[in-house]
Amino acid sequence: MNKTLLLMSLFCLFSMTGYSAEQGPTGNAVATSFGEEYPFKVETLAACAGDKLLRGLTNVATGTGEIPRQLIISCREHNSISGLPSGFFTGLIMTIARTVYGGFEVLMFPIPIDGSYASMITPAYVWGPITSVPNHPPKNQKTKE
């Protein structure tokens, strides 16, 4: 009898994991107790909150990577000599900013900011793409003189 009850409980548990009791009739909106609707399913909200937590932990752990990142950006923008000190100090400031913001995301991961779980800093991770400086042409392109 106990085995049958256990098997039935497990069947009910695993058969209902894809459906949320709060899911709307269209399947793409979730109503909250406050009467608001989010355009996500409950599983998607949990995944977004988990991504935000992971992104916050990653930014806290890798915030010091902003120093070499800003050195690269500053040396591309200026020459190598003047880019080193400005890149280093910009990197220090960005290290503090990324680490503090990562801690903020860790603390606030279940709560969407402005209705979104997206990162408020760009790029979301320190190893994100380094965009080229718009005022300078690529090295293989000659300037018009």
Q: How far lies 136's CA from each of 51, 116, 145, in Å?
A: 35, 34, 14
Task: Kindly report the pTM of this predicted structure.
Answer: 0.60
User: What does the pLDDT read at residue 50?
Assistant: 87
What are the residue ranges spanned by the domains of the chain?
Answer: 47-129
For the cut 80, the answer to whether the pLDDT of residue 140 exceeds it is no
Alpha-carbon dihedral sign for residues 56, 58, 62, 66? negative
Residues 3-40 have pLDDT tens digits of 666 555 655 444 434 433 344 444 444 444 444 555 55
Give CB contacts under 8 A, 24+ apart, made by 126-129: 126/59, 126/62, 126/63, 126/65, 126/66, 126/69, 126/98, 127/62, 127/65
User: What does the pLDDT read at residue 59?
Assistant: 94
User: What does the pLDDT read at residue 22?
Assistant: 40
